[in-house]
């Protein structure tokens, strides 16, 4: 099945919530100086029939670009803006000046507060502001009658887990519980999901001798790995990682465990990397992302939660040439900045030839990264890594106005 047709089938925007097309989205990161403008990227997204897109900020111009497209957006509060929106007045000003004007033309469904705040390089500074910012933004939305339309959450990586295998033994780092437990209460109270950035690639790259490649690539022919405590068999590492988070939530607060849903806010596989980045190849990236699509297309849940279909945002739409870190960080995209596929996507083990070339997209005018992001690096944890994105306070003048 050709790449564009496969994505079109899975990502049609008008599909009901329970259908596979409503369960798969894509991350639209913009840390690059050769990426097309949003208006041009929308041409590619429209050709794919993308129904869900995750952004890492809430830039007003970008939000306006998505107006009347029918695309459901996940917007974001950048890390450096957490303190500014962690007070009722700051959150209210931001929601009223940035989010409310975009609605309802732009379909904003979720707002993420920071990205991997609890495990990032600035966690000690940012963590105290995380829950207050989430609560204040939710309250600001509620004051406008928007809290049922727009939910508030935060994205975490698997670094929040002290252990993830076997899934039934997973639990959160004890030093994070004072922050995570109230966040879990918030999710249960507001109905917002717990977002998990899950990357089997990092588990494989860290221990290629101990982790089977087929298991990490989600290959359907793999026999699976049993959980000796629960008796459940895990056919691939991605669902194992999701269930590990479910078990950690239950271990932290069993009272809210059934009420909190886990969603995969990022997952992907790099198509290239440095010499020591084992497994970062176009073939493996094609196999992994094709298998993610297969999993979502099946509409199934995880072994622990079979009744709830897996919901995933793939990382990412484009390769981003200004992301810091090893080469793999700049090679997660399904597409090059000119709109051509990075590789022929594999699906069910068969390479999918591209039948009709997509239009080449012209890059936007070069733009420097914000000083707050330049040179920023984070380290990998098992099966996870922070993906820094273009981070602006949407707009920066808003934060200046607060002070």
pLDDT tens, per residue, the chain with 403 residues: 455 444 544 444 433 444 455 678 999 999 999 999 998 888 888 766 678 999 999 999 999 999 999 999 999 999 999 999 999 999 999 999 999 999 999 999 999 999 999 999 999 999 999 999 999 999 999 999 999 999 999 999 999 999 999 999 999 999 999 999 999 999 999 999 999 999 999 999 999 999 999 999 999 999 999 999 999 999 999 999 999 999 999 999 999 999 999 999 999 999 999 999 999 999 999 999 999 999 998 999 999 999 989 999 999 999 999 999 999 999 999 999 999 999 987 544 333 334 344 556 666 654 433 333 223 323 334 433 444 454 455 444 444 434 4
DSSP 362: P
How many angstroms separate the CA atoms of 174 and 252, rounded? 9
Q: Name the residue among 227, 215, 242 with its Cα closest to residue 166.
A: 227
> CATH assignment of 3-402?
3.20.20.80
Which entry of 206, 214, 219, 266 is annotated as an active-site residue?
Answer: 266
The helix or strand, by DSSP H or E, that contains position 115, with its residue range, turns out to be strand 107-115
Residue 270 · residue 284 · CB < 8 Å: no
How many angstroms separate the CA atoms of 67 and 72, rounded? 10
How many angstroms separate the CA atoms of 137 and 92, rounded? 7
Helix (H, G, I), strand (E, B) or coil at 180: helix
Known catalytic residue at 116? yes
Chain centroid offset of residue 349 CA: 25
Neighbour-count burial of 178, counting CB atoms closer than 10 A to its CB (0-12 exposed, 13-18 middle, 19+ buried): exposed
How many angstroms separate the CA atoms of 191 and 259, rounded? 8
As given in the structure block, the two tokens for residue 246 are 């479910």
How many angstroms separate the CA atoms of 55 and 30, rounded? 9
How many angstroms separate the CA atoms of 270 and 88, rounded? 40
Q: Name the residue among 163, 189, 165 with its Cα closest to residue 253.
A: 189
* Residue 384, strand partner residues: 381
The helix or strand, by DSSP H or E, that contains position 25, with its residue range, turns out to be strand 24-27
How many angstroms separate the CA atoms of 297 and 269, rounded? 19
Q: Name the residue among 148, 50, 60 with its Cα closest to residue 106.
A: 60
The reported pTM is: 0.86
125 — phi, psi (to 5°)?
A: -85, -40
Q: What is the pLDDT of residue 195?
A: 98
What is the rounded end-to-end Cα distance, in angstroms, of the chain?
A: 54
Which entry of 116, 298, 320, 344 is annotated as an active-site residue?
Answer: 116
Known catalytic residue at 320? no
Domain ranges for the chain: 3-402
Torsion over CA of 218, 223, 225 and 227, rounded to 10 degrees?
120
The helix or strand, by DSSP H or E, that contains position 3, with its residue range, turns out to be helix 3-11
Q: What is the pLDDT of residue 359?
A: 57
Q: How many CA atoms lie within 13 A of 173 on its CB side?
A: 11
Q: What is the pLDDT of residue 358?
A: 53
- The alpha helices in 144-271, defined as continuous H runs, are 177-190, 200-206, 213-216, 237-252
């Amino acid at each position: 099945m050709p790449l564009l047709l496969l994505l079109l089938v899975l990502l049609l925007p008008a599909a009901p919530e329970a259908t596979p097309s409503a369960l798969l989205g894509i991350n639209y990161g913009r840390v690059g100086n050769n990426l097309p403008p949003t208006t041009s990227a929308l041409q590619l997204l429209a050709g794919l029939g993308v129904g869900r897109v995750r952004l890492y900020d809430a830039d007003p111009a970008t939000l306006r670009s998505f107006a009347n497209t029918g695309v459901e957006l996940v917007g974001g509060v950048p890390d450096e803006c957490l303190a500014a929106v962690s007070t009722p007045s700051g959150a209210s000003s931001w929601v009223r000046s940035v989010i409310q004007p975009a609605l309802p033309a732009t379909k904003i469904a979720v707002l993420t507060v920071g990205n991997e705040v609890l495990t990032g390089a600035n966690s000690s500074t940012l963590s105290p502001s995380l829950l207050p910012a989430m609560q204040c933004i939710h309250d600001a939305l509620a004051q406008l009658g928007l809290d049922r339309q727009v939910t508030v959450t935060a994205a975490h990586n698997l670094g929040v887990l002290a252990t993830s295998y076997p899934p039934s033994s997973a639990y959160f780092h004890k030093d994070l519980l004072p922050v995570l437990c109230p966040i879990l209460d918030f999710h249960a109270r507001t109905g917002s999901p717990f977002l998990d950035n899950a990357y089997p690639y990092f588990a494989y790259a860290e221990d290629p001798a101990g982790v089977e490649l087929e298991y990490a690539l989600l290959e359907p022919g793999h026999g699976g790995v049993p959980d000796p405590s629960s008796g459940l068999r895990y056919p691939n590492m991605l669902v194992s990682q999701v269930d590990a988070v479910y078990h950690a939530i239950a271990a932290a607060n069993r009272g809210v465990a059934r009420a909190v849903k886990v969603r995969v806010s990022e997952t992907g596989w790099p198509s290239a990397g440095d010499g020591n980045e084992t497994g970062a190849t176009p073939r493996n990236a094609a196999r992994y992302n094709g298998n993610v699509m297969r999993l979502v297309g099946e509409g199934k849940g995880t072994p622990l939660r079979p009744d709830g279909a897996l919901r995933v945002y793939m990382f990412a739409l484009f390769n981003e040439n200004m992301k810091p870190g090893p080469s793999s960080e700049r090679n997660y995209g399904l597409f090059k900045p000119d709109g051509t596929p990075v590789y022929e996507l594999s699906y069910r083990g068969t390479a999918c030839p591209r039948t009709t070339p997509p239009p080449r997209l012209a890059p936007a005018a070069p733009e420097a990264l914000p000083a707050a992001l330049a040179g920023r690096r984070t380290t990998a944890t098992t099966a996870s890594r922070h993906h820094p994105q273009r981070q602006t306070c949407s707009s920066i003048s808003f934060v200046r106005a607060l002070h």
